[in-house]
Amino acid sequence: MLNIFESKGNLIVHSKEPYNAEPPLDRLRSAFITAQADFYVRSHGNIPQLDADEHRLVVDGLVERSLNLSMTELRTCFPHRTVTAVMQCAGNRRADMLQVAEVSGDPWAPGAIGNAEWTGVALSDVLQAAGATDNADLHVAFASCDEIEMEGEGRFLYGASIPMAKAVSPEVILAFAMNGEDLAPAHGFPLRVVVPGFAGVRSPKWLSRITVQAQPSDNHMQQRDYKMLPSNVTADTVDWTKGVTINDMPINAAICEPSPHATLKPGLTTIRGYAVATAREIVRVDISGDGGRTWSLAELEGSSPWSWTFWHASLDLSKGEHELVVRAWDSAGQTQPAAPDDTWNFKGYLSAAWHRVRVSVV
Ligand SMILES: Nc1nc2c(c(=O)[nH]1)N[C@H]1C(S)=C(S)[C@@H](COP(=O)(O)O)O[C@H]1N2
Ligand SMILES: [Mo]
């Protein structure tokens, strides 16, 4: 079997251990469905090499009957569902916030996102088989097999949770396949959660346990990370209990081509990128060739619920330096903040300001 650096040879590696990497943007923009080889990887610990024949999924907590399922039982006892959905890290585009002030975490460009066809079983079917009550006040907690080591936290296994109201939505699945293939080890083989519309952190890979409980997961990932924080809060002053849990992702858009600092010829240039509004629809994308003073409409290439929307535009660029800018609009008329300063936070989460790319025309 290929090792991770071979199987992910096209990616830009932010760190090797834990392995974190994203695709170059022209590659990301080359297909509506992102190939596993080109799909970003965000890991906090090791990448477990699990045996599907041995793997078990336990369902317990506030249920009428606990389940302990093999992968074969999971595949054969429940109807299969396929959902095409974006997976996106809450730290996607963090590099832009880094330009405002220091932030913690890897400097992700706009590549910590991908769109895949996930196949598995509905989480709601599994919860129903266990006789879980779907009281909206409950939480569904997930436990994984990867081990994480963090300063001040020691060693622990990855875990996170989602509210019951989302857990019983039909789009939330326990996936064993991505784009019709087994999940690659880096993407959670043999089983992961996929929570369309939510930040990637709520979609645990290498899933081993589902627990229905009265409160959110007590895991570090749920309690002391991945929260929305005001810009005056720092690593030294943060009170995690006051942060807001990041679930839904904001509207966002990025220019994938041309790449930053590209040298172009005068005349018509095609600009390509993606926009994403998760639960809502992208209805308009604006593109500027002069730093956001004047705008024209990009052409949308169609979408599906939970997927991204690809767009392209043609701009007539004269000789000189240009700042290309994109901003998207959703069906509720919401758009993106103009500058990363507006939403800066020391963790660099939810970086969704107008995306700017400088090019030279010579
Ligand atoms: N078990 C486990 N699940 C995890 C993570 C992890 O480190 N361990 N990272 C999460 C985060 S923060 C993101 S953004 C997505 C990334 O999924 P991918 O690596 O398949 O792209 O997985 C999520 N699930
Ligand atoms: Mo993430």
Q: What is the pLDDT of residues 79-102, one digit of tens each?
A: 999 999 999 999 999 999 999 999
Give long-range contacts, CB 8 A cutoff, 24+ apart: 38-41: 38/10, 38/11, 38/114, 39/87, 39/114, 39/116, 39/178, 39/187, 40/11, 40/89, 40/111, 40/112, 40/113, 40/114, 41/4, 41/8, 41/11, 41/186, 41/187
User: Is 205 near ligand 1, meaning CB less than 6 Å away?
Assistant: yes
Q: Residue 91 C-alpha to ligand 2 middle, in angstroms?
A: 6
Residues of the chain with CATH 2.60.40.650: 252-361
Looking at domain 7-245, what is its CATH homologous superfamily?
Oxidoreductase, molybdopterin-binding domain (3.90.420.10)
Rg for the chain, CA atoms, rounded: 21
User: Is 196 near ligand 1, meaning CB less than 6 Å away?
Assistant: no
Q: Are 122 and 170 in contact, with CB atoms under 8 Å apart?
A: yes
Residues of the chain with CATH 3.90.420.10: 7-245
Nearest Cα residue to atom 12 of ligand 1: 201
List phi, psi (to 5°) of 291: 75, 10
**Distance between CA 317 and CA 230 in Å, rounded?**
39
User: Is 202 near ligand 1, meaning CB less than 6 Å away?
Assistant: no
Q: What pLDDT, on the 0 to 100 scale, is given for residue 1?
A: 60
Select from 228, 355, 334, 222 the least CA-distant residue to 288: 355
**Distance between CA 344 and CA 229 in Å, rounded?**
9
User: Is 227 near ligand 1, meaning CB less than 6 Å away?
Assistant: no
User: Is 118 near ligand 1, meaning CB less than 6 Å away?
Assistant: no
- Amino acid 242 reads K
Q: How far is CA 54 from CA 49, 51, 208, 278, in A?
A: 12, 5, 11, 35
Nearest Cα residue to atom 18 of ligand 1: 41
Specify the 3-state DSSP secondary structure of 38. Answer: helix
Q: Residue 22 C-alpha to ligand 1 middle, in angstroms?
A: 13
User: Is 48 near ligand 1, meaning CB less than 6 Å away?
Assistant: no
Q: What pLDDT, on the 0 to 100 scale, is given for residue 84?
A: 97
Q: What pLDDT, on the 0 to 100 scale, is given for residue 275?
A: 98
Nearest Cα residue to atom 16 of ligand 1: 42
User: Taking the complete model, does pTM exceed 0.95, yes or no?
Assistant: yes
Nearest Cα residue to atom 23 of ligand 1: 201
In the chain, count H helices and then E strands.
Answer: 7, 24
CA angle 140, 142, 144 (to 5 degrees): 180
Per CATH, domain 252-361 is 3.40.50.300? no
Residue ranges in the chain modelled with pLDDT below 50? none
**Distance between CA 277 and CA 280 in Å, rounded?**
5
Starting at the edge strand found earlier in the chain, the sheet holding 263-264 runs 263-264, 355-361, 320-330, 282-288, 296-297
Q: Residue 176 C-alpha to ligand 2 middle, in angstroms?
A: 20
Q: Are 24 and 174 in contact, with CB atoms under 8 Å apart?
A: no
Q: What pLDDT, on the 0 to 100 scale, is given for residue 326?
A: 98
User: Is 201 near ligand 1, meaning CB less than 6 Å away?
Assistant: yes
DSSP state, 196? T
Q: How far is CA 87 from CA 42, 187, 277, 322, in A?
A: 11, 11, 12, 31
